Amino acid sequence: MIEIKDYSFRYGKEWVLKDINMTIDRELVVITGKSGSGKSTLALSIAGFQKSTGEHTGEILFHGRNIDTFDLFELAPKIGIVQQDPESQICTMSVKDEIAFGLENLCYDKEKIEERIEWALSIVGGLYLQTRDTTSLSGGEKQKVAIASILAMKPEVIIFDEPTSNLDVETTKEIMQVITKIKKKADISAIVIEHKWKHIYKFADTLYEMNAGELKRIEKPPEIQYNGYNGLTPVLKNPLLELRNVHFSYDKKILENVNLTVNEKEIVGIMGANGSGKTSLLMCIMNFLQYTGDILLKGKSIKDKKTADIAKKIGIIFQNPNHQIFENTVYKEATFAPRNFGMDCSIDQLLKKSGLAKYENENPFKLSYGEKRRLNIISVLSYSPEILLLDEPFIGQDYQNVQEIMELLSDTTCVIVLHDPFIAHAFCNRIFQLKGGNLHEVQPTD
């Protein structure tokens, strides 16, 4: 059982958590709240990671014993945490080694380890991943492996920090059903920290909202209504980007005969199951991958162009924000691309609109996951490319930040890979489903 009594925490001068009180006893608790409200800090505090990184008052008890009195090696098998960024949690080169890692450190025998690997992967619907290298996994597949590696140790408490951020809606429901099943079968406590509560709150035994470091229990989250602009401004049939019969495969077919026309000032959404090839489609457009067929920008083929030349016209925001940070201050990072392209830019307004102006002299790696994502976006917007490709830009973003990101992207041409149909239908002019290597339109232009 977890008991939190009048717990407050701060890194510097400002308190990140303020007088938190909560009891968790073999239940599934969902904690929602805006980015930066303190949810992840609370998760790390419960898991014992914060006792020497800042200052705290009050106490967190595990079975009546103060968390501060445990060594991490004692606590790790008992309280497992699945972090927000699955890539930061993966430390081996193969899926089986990754899931075995914790079990080997707990000195389980080989037979037991093999049994636990299979059990954990079956729980997350990932048995097909057993023989894969971790470097070949999609974002969603990495999420499944990260979850399985913690499940395999069967801790008493599991904390999931944004466990479905990289997952499509159906897999989100499956994972939440899995968490519910594990909680009941293993008689454990589960804490789920999530922005996407619209899809998960019904699974909770208890629902909390974190607001500026304060935690309160709520019965049901409020309805969310985006101020979308889909359909408000007619899109002119002025083709900007065209994909013609694009094929791509690794050891198996990924894209087959993909055709797509993106018009100027249009926002096109690309959805699909994890591992369906959405990221590969964007990589082909940037010429990171060798494909057959042709891709045209303003009627001219870019197939034989260098990626560096394509990037001046087509900006891309990668799925993992850490892969797109190169400088040691937020301001330098925001101006990195135009400086390298020899272009002038004015970044102050973008920093202000993105809520990052106050961090302009900070190291970008100190930002939250969601703040890093917004920095990625304005660093590309800074040089005004003709079209933007965004791979899961809403990971780590609460509903308000989704709205603000889309306002940043207004009046641009975008291809957005995303999982949430709620966002897609609010903001996209057209939506496509990538399935079996083919694109299928699921929402007409008008």
* Top-confidence residue, 188 or 94: 94
Please give the radius of gyration of the chain, using alpha carbons only, rounded to the nearest integer.
Answer: 22
pTM over 0.85: no
Among 231-235, 254-258, 417-421, which is the least confidently predicted range?
231-235
pLDDT, tens digit, for every residue of 44-76? 999 999 988 889 999 999 999 999 999 988 998
Joined tokens for residue 94 = 């193969």
Show the 3-state SS of the chain: CEEEEEEEEECCCCEEEEEEEEEECCCEEEEEECCCCCHHHHHHHHCCCCCCCCEEEEEEEECCEEHHHCCHHHHCCCEEEECCCHHHHCCCCEHHHHHHHHHHHCCCCHHHHHHHHHHHHHHCCCHHHCCCEHHHCCHHHHHHHHHHHHHCCCCCEEEEECCCCCCCHHHHHHHHHHHHHHHHHHCCEEEEECCCHHHHHHHCCEEEEEECCEEEEECCCCCCCCCCCCCCCCCCCCEEEEEEEEEEECCCEEEEEEEEEEECCCEEEEECCCCCCHHHHHHHHCCCCCCEEEEEECCEECCCCCHHHHHHHEEEECCCHHHHCCCCCHHHHHCHHHHHHCCCCCCHHHHHHCCCHHHCCCCHHHCCHHHHHHHHHHHHHCCCCCEEEEECCCCCCCHHHHHHHHHHCCCCCEEEECCCHHHHHHHCCEEEEEECCEEEEEECCC
CATH number of the domain to which 377 belongs: 3.40.50.300
Q: Is residue 231 situated within a structural domain? A: no
Write down which residue in 185, 218, 251 finishes a domain.
218
Q: Is residue 22 situated within a structural domain? A: yes
> Quick one: how far is CA 257 from the chain centroid?
29
* Top-confidence residue, 321 or 186: 321
In this structure, the answer to whether residues 248 and 320 fall within a common structural domain is: yes
* Top-confidence residue, 332 or 40: 332
* Top-confidence residue, 419 or 377: 377
The percentage of residues in the chain with a pLDDT greater than 70, rounded to a whole number, is 95
* Residue labelled with tokens 């408490």: 157
Write down which residue in 218, 247, 281 finishes a domain.
218
pLDDT, tens digit, for every residue of 117-155? 999 998 888 899 999 999 888 777 888 899 899 989 989
What pLDDT does 445 receive? 41
Average pLDDT, the chain: 89
Among 249-253, 348-352, 423-427, which is the least confidently predicted range?
249-253
Among 28-37, 172-181, 241-250, which is the least confidently predicted range?
172-181
Q: Is residue 227 situated within a structural domain? A: no
User: Rounded to whole angstroms, how far apart are CA atoms 2 and 27?
Assistant: 11
In this structure, the answer to whether residues 243 and 387 fall within a common structural domain is: yes
User: Rounded to whole angstroms, how far apart are CA atoms 409 and 377?
Assistant: 9
What pLDDT does 229 receive? 62
- Read off the pLDDT of each residue in 329-348 and give the average, rounded to a whole number: 92
What pLDDT does 187 receive? 73
Joined tokens for residue 30 = 């969902």
What pLDDT does 162 receive? 80
In this structure, the answer to whether residues 158 and 284 fall within a common structural domain is: no
What pLDDT does 183 receive? 75
Among 17-26, 218-227, 248-257, 286-295, which is the least confidently predicted range?
218-227
In this structure, the answer to whether residues 172 and 59 fall within a common structural domain is: yes
In this structure, the answer to whether residues 279 and 181 fall within a common structural domain is: no
- Asked if the model's pLDDT at residue 387 lies above 80, the reply is yes
Q: Supply the range of the domain harboring residue 177.
A: 2-218
Joined tokens for residue 440 = 């299928």
In this structure, the answer to whether residues 18 and 166 fall within a common structural domain is: yes
In this structure, the answer to whether residues 253 and 167 fall within a common structural domain is: no
- Read off the pLDDT of each residue in 246-266 and give the average, rounded to a whole number: 92
* Top-confidence residue, 161 or 181: 161
- Asked if the model's pLDDT at residue 268 lies above 70, the reply is yes
Q: Is residue 230 situated within a structural domain? A: no
In this structure, the answer to whether residues 147 and 26 fall within a common structural domain is: yes
Q: Is residue 147 situated within a structural domain? A: yes
- Read off the pLDDT of each residue in 82-86 and give the average, rounded to a whole number: 80
What pLDDT does 230 receive? 58
Q: Is residue 233 situated within a structural domain? A: no
What's the domain count of the chain?
A: 2
> Please, what is the angle between helix 369-381 and helix 399-408, to 10°?
10
285: Cα within 13 Å, side-chain hemisphere: 30
Write down which residue in 218, 248, 273 finishes a domain.
218
In this structure, the answer to whether residues 179 and 80 fall within a common structural domain is: yes
Joined tokens for residue 233 = 């401004």
Q: Is residue 224 situated within a structural domain? A: no
In this structure, the answer to whether residues 261 and 376 fall within a common structural domain is: yes
In this structure, the answer to whether residues 208 and 354 fall within a common structural domain is: no
What pLDDT does 318 receive? 93
Q: Is residue 223 situated within a structural domain? A: no
Specify the pairing of strand 387-391 against strand 414-417. parallel
Assign 401 a pLDDT band (cuts: 50, 70, 90). confident
In this structure, the answer to whether residues 168 and 250 fall within a common structural domain is: no
- Asked if the model's pLDDT at residue 178 lies above 90, the reply is no
